[in-house]
Amino acid sequence: MSRCRGATTALATFVVVLAGACAVAGPAVNAEATAAQPDAHWVSAWGTAQQLAPDVMPEWTRPPPVPDHPLQSPIPPTPEHLVSQTVRMVVRTTIAGRRVRIRLSNRFGARPVAIGAAHIALHRQGSAIEPGTDRVITVGGHAAFVLPPGATMLSDPVSLAVPAPAELTVSLYVHGDSGPLTLHPLGLHTTYVAKGDLTGKAVLPDARSNASYFWLSGVGVETTRRAGVIVALGDSITDGFRTTLDRNRDWPSVLSDRLRAVYPATDWAVLNMGYSGNRILRDGAGVSTLARLDRDVLVRAGATWIVLLDGINDIGWAALPGAPSSEQVTAQDLIAGDREIIERAHLHGIKVMGATLTPYLGVNTYSAQGEAIRQALNSWIRSGGAFDAVVDFDAVARDPAQPQQLRPEFDSGDHIHPNDAGNRAMAQAIAVKVFDPVAIMRRAQ
């Protein structure tokens, strides 16, 4: 395929075609995107939530390191932009199917991003893909396309046999300068960046690595099997902050493994829609849960449940030095936010499991007032009757000798984020019997 020039400068004619003259006779239609089987349906098999760029955050929202525990952040530095580079990202899907498609988003971009080529394949190891599984991704029949500012785009279906579970690679070649990135900083899987268009290469030579997802916000699988999707919604604790890279130790991943064991006839995906710094009511390190609910949860194909673990940043960040009085919250404010999420989910036929907030004594955001709010909110989550189900993460994670703090064996070292063992215990605490495969099948139809 010839390379199109000048792609980043114009969108006027057709947003999915690279601007400028392209030496192709017509759309590069993916011949492998064969017709779907009559009983097949699309299901979200993987997803991630995108965040605001750090430089748009107010200074007071950036908590300093805990003085007596100066741990390095597990979020590695990300480039400010990509210029004529390939990025290869690894995602873990847990729903089997014969066709896949991806969701790309330039939600926080202020300029169009020209994608010169895109590929998907089964992952082998490192930056390597499984031989014979590489497939070209098209959008609107075109192998080169543009992501407009603020837009989300679905690719065309691609024929690729995907087992469950599986690791896939999505490779994007950015033609020219991308400008500021729309990304998920903590991807929990190693991402590879190399110069030039290497999207179809078996291995990316001389690649630099980080652990973020760039523009990729979802992967869908077409399946004829019964399949269920649960969305884990929350902050850095759900995001898997301080869990082991490339090992799928965050509690949403552990939960999906449990579900496959309990319901072997059903394929399950637990989409991790947490991100570090998330708050229910207000923007911080990203937009609030109330602001992102539609695009991160309600549009996900096959979603029937939300597990909501959120609010500790609303409580803790209000105690930070320099936080304006407008950032103060009460338990009733957070309860009202939770009720709003529940009502909006119910309008879409999605049930919500409420999770109690885990302890945070020892963090610089801790305060006696904040602890009282946490206790009041947890009491309402347990007994208020608003949620369709409840999981008591607080009871699992707290230290019996001092309930305001994490159990020592679950503490990653920063006193707020559970380690791998803590995440496993949280996933084990969820009563998976409430996730009814019969109801899932009715919704899929």
Pick the closest to residue 103 from 213, 17, 241 (CA basis). 213
Q: Which pLDDT value is given to residue 61?
A: 60
Residue 185's pLDDT is 93
AA identity, residue 113: V
Collapse the DSSP code of 95 into the 3-class scheme (helix H, G, I; strand E, B; otherwise coil) and give the result: coil
Q: What number of other Cβ atoms are within 10 A of residue 160's Cβ?
A: 20
d(CA 318, CA 309): 18
Domain coordinates in residue numbering, the chain: 41-46+82-217, 226-444
Contacts of 317 (CB under 8 A, 6+ apart): 61, 63, 279, 284, 323, 327, 365
**Distance, CA of 86 to CA of 128 (rounded, Å):** 14
Q: For position 51, what pLDDT does the model report?
A: 85
Find tokens 């500021």 and name the residue.
180
Helix (DSSP H) and strand (DSSP E) numbers for the chain = 9, 22
**pTM, rounded to two decimals:** 0.90
How far apart are alpha carbons 193 and 170 in whole angstroms? 12
Q: pLDDT tens, position by position, for the chain (445 residues)?
A: 333 433 333 333 334 445 433 333 344 444 444 455 668 999 999 999 998 655 555 665 655 544 444 566 778 788 889 999 999 999 999 999 999 999 999 998 889 999 999 999 999 999 999 999 999 999 999 999 999 999 999 999 999 999 999 999 999 999 999 999 999 999 999 999 999 999 999 999 999 999 999 999 999 999 998 899 999 999 999 999 999 999 999 999 999 999 999 999 899 999 999 999 999 999 888 899 999 999 999 999 999 999 999 999 999 999 888 888 989 999 999 999 999 999 999 999 999 999 999 999 999 999 999 999 999 999 999 999 999 999 999 999 999 999 999 999 999 999 999 999 999 999 999 999 999 776 665 554 4
Residue type, 60: W
CATH of domain 226-444: 3.40.50.1110
Instruction: Give the pairing of strands 191-195 and 183-184.
Output: unpaired
Instruction: Find the helix or strand (DSSP H, E) in which 245 lies.
Output: none
Inter-residue contact 199 to 135 (CB < 8 Å): no
Specify the pLDDT at position 138: 98
pLDDT at 77: 83
